[in-house]
C-alpha cells in the first residue's frame, strides 16, 4: 500500500499548529458548505422514528435507487432499472473498492490514471491487482491516450478507471472522449469504471457528460455517484453505482457479505438532496466558481501561470519558480506559513511538479494564502 499523502501533510499541519500559525488548509477536497437544509430536516425527522434504527436490507434502499434512476433519466435521458442497474453505496470510494473486488481476480490487470485519486492505488493493492498506468499528461489535456495502450496490455486488462471532471487535474472530458473510452473497452471487453463525484461541480454553462448516456455505455460501464460533492454531504457517506447489470449485481453480492447499507435516514436525506431544484445545486457550485476566479486571478497577477478549470473543486498548477519537488514544497510551506496544499506527487508519479489547491475556503482566505506563499517563496 502506498503511504498516504494526507498522513504526511497531517504531520506538517500539526507542526504549524504547534507553532500557533493560523491554518489555511486547502489540502483536502472536503466541502466547507453545509448540506441542503431539506436533507437535514428529513434526517432529523428520521432519527426520531425508532423503526429507522435497525438494519437496512436491500429492499429498504429501493426509494433511493428509484430517486437516482429518475434523476438520471431527467438529466441524461438514461433508462435504468433501479432493481438491476443501480445499487446504493456508503460513499463512492467504498463502492469503488468493493467493485474492484467484485469484478476482478487477484493478479488481474487494471488500467488506472496517473495522476489519480489516491484511493485508486490503494483499492487496487487491496484487491491484489496489477496496475497498468495510463499517464495523464498536460499536453493531452490530462486525458489518457488510448492509442498508447499496447493491444496485448488491453487484452489482459479487466477494468479501466477514468474520472471527469477530474481530481486532481480539474480536467474535463467531452462526450466524444467518453465514447472513445467506451469503444476501447467494448473492443477488449474491459469494464469501464467512471468515477463521477464531481458531476455537479461545474462552472458557467459547462455540463459534465455521463458515460451511461453514450451508445454502448450501459453495456460496458459503471458510473459512481456521490452526495459528497454535489450536496456537500461528505461526512454522511452516501452514493450509488449505476450501469452494467452484471457488474452492479456482482458488487451487490460482495457488499451483501460486508455491509448492511447506509442508515435509512441518511438515504432519505440523499433523496431530499437529489430532489432539490437543480438551481440550488448549481448555486453552491457557483460559489466554488467565484473562489476559482479569485484564486487563479490572484496567482496569475503574482506571475504564477495557472489555467482556469471548468469544473471540479480544485486548481491544479505547476510548482512555481521552476521548483520540482512537490512534497518538499508543500511540507515546508505548511510548516512555515500554515498554508496547506496537496503535493502533486501524492496522486502518482506523473503528478510530480504540480500542486493542487482545494477551493474549500472563502475568497479572502485564498488571497491570504497566495500572499503567504509568495512571502515564503
Nearest distance, CB of residue 120 and ligand PLP, angstroms: 8
Burial of 108-129, coded b for 16+ CB within 10 Å and e otherwise, reads bbbbbbbbbbbbbbbbbeebeb
Task: List binders of ligand PLP among 146-165 (CB under 6 A).
Answer: 163
Paired strand residues for 130: 109
Stretch that binds ligand PLP, among 88-96, 253-261, 265-273, 360-368 (CB under 6 A): 88-96
- Ranges within 241-300 binding ligand PLP (CB under 6 A): none
- Least CB distance from residue 29 to ligand PLP, whole Å? 4
Residue 114 to residues 89, 94, 111, 124, 127: CA-CA distances in angstroms? Answer: 25, 20, 10, 13, 18
List 31, 61, 71, 93, residue binding ligand PLP (CB under 6 A): 93
Counting contacts by CB under 6 A, is residue 92 touching ligand PLP? Answer: yes
91 scored as a contact of ligand PLP (CB under 6 A):
yes
Choose which of 210, 228, 267, 268 interacts with ligand PLP (CB under 6 A): 228
Give the interface segment with ligand PLP, choosing from 153-161, 215-223, 226-234, 241-249 (CB under 6 A): 226-234
Q: At its nearest, how many Å lie between ligand PLP and the CB of residue 151?
A: 28
Q: How far is the CB of 369 from ligand PLP (least distance, A)?
A: 20
Sketch the per residue contact string, 29 through 48, with ligand PLP: x for CB under 6 A, - otherwise.
Answer: x-------------------
Please list every residue from 104 through 123 that binds ligand PLP, using CB under 6 A: 117
290: CB partners within 8 A, 6+ apart = 363
Q: Smaller CB distance to ligand PLP: residue 103 or 154?
A: 103
CA-closest candidate to residue 215, choices 247, 195, 186: 186
48-56, 66-74, 90-98, 243-251 -> range binding ligand PLP (CB under 6 A): 90-98
- Quote the least distance from Cβ 287 to ligand PLP, whole Å: 18
Among 226, 230, 244, 317, binds ligand PLP (CB under 6 A): 226
Query: What span, in angstroms and rounded, lies between the C-alpha atoms of 312 and 29?
Result: 10
Size of residue set near ligand PLP by CB under 6 A: 13
Q: How far is the CB of 92 from ligand PLP (least distance, A)?
A: 3
Min separation Cβ 168 and ligand PLP, Å: 8
Residue 169 engages ligand PLP in binding (rule: CB under 6 A): no
* 218 vs 211: CA distance, rounded Å: 8
Q: What are the residues whose beta carbons fall under 8 Å from the beta carbon of 116, sequence distance 6 or more?
A: 136, 161, 163, 347, 348
**Contact residues: ligand PLP, CB under 6 A:** 29, 91-93, 117, 163, 167, 195, 197, 226, 228, 234, 239
Amino acid at each position: 500500500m502506498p503511504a498516504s499523502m494526507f498522513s504526511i501533510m497531517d504531520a506538517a499541519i500539526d507542526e504549524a499548529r504547534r507553532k500557533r500559525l493560523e491554518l489555511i488548509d486547502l489540502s483536502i477536497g472536503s466541502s466547507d458548505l453545509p448540506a441542503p437544509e431539506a436533507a437535514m430536516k428529513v434526517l432529523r425527522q428520521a432519527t426520531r422514528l425508532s423503526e429507522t434504527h435497525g438494519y437496512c436490507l436491500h429492499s429498504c434502499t429501493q426509494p433511493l435507487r428509484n430517486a437516482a434512476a429518475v434523476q438520471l433519466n431527467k438529466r441524461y435521458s438514461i433508462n435504468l432499472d433501479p432493481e438491476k442497474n443501480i445499487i446504493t453505496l456508503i460513499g463512492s470510494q467504498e463502492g469503488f473498492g468493493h467493485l474492484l473486488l467484485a469484478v476482478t481476480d487477484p493478479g488481474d490487470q487494471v488500467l488506472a490514471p496517473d495522476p489519480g485519486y489516491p484511493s485508486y492505488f490503494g483499492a487496487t493493492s487491496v484487491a491484489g491487482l496489477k496496475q497498468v498506468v495510463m499517464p495523464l499528461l498536460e499536453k493531452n489535456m490530462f486525458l489518457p491516450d488510448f492509442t498508447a495502450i499496447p493491444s496485448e496490455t488491453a487484452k489482459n486488462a479487466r477494468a479501466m478507471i477514468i474520472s471527469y471532471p477530474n481530481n486532481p487535474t480539474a480536467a474535463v472530458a467531452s462526450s466524444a472522449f467518453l465514447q472513445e473510452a467506451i469503444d476501447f473497452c467494448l473492443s477488449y471487453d474491459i469494464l469501464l469504471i467512471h468515477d463521477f463525484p464531481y458531476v455537479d461541480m461545474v462552472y458557467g454553462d459547462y455540463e459534465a457528460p455521463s458515460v451511461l448516456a453514450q451508445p454502448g455505455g450501459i453495456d460496458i460501464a459503471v458510473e459512481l455517484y456521490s452526495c459528497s460533492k454535489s450536496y456537500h454531504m461528505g461526512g454522511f457517506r452516501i452514493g450509488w453505482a449505476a450501469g452494467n447489470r452484471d457488474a452492479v449485481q456482482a458488487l451487490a453480492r460482495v457488499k451483501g457479505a460486508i455491509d448492511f447499507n447506509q442508515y435509512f435516514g441518511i438515504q432519505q436525506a440523499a433523496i431530499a438532496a437529489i430532489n432539490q431544484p437543480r438551481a440550488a445545486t448549481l448555486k453552491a457550485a457557483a460559489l466554488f466558481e467565484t473562489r476559482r476566479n479569485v484564486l487563479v486571478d490572484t496567482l496569475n497577477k503574482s506571475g504564477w501561470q495557472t489555467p482556469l478549470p471548468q469544473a471540479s473543486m480544485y486548481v491544479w498548477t505547476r510548482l512555481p519558480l521552476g521548483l520540482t519537488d512537490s512534497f518538499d514544497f508543500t511540507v515546508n510551506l505548511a510548516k512555515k506559513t500554515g498554508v496547506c496544499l496537496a503535493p502533486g506527487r501524492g496522486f502518482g508519479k506523473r503528478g510530480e511538479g504540480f500542486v493542487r489547491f482545494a477551493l474549500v475556503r472563502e475568497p479572502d482566505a485564498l488571497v491570504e494564502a497566495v500572499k503567504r506563499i509568495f512571502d515564503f517563496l
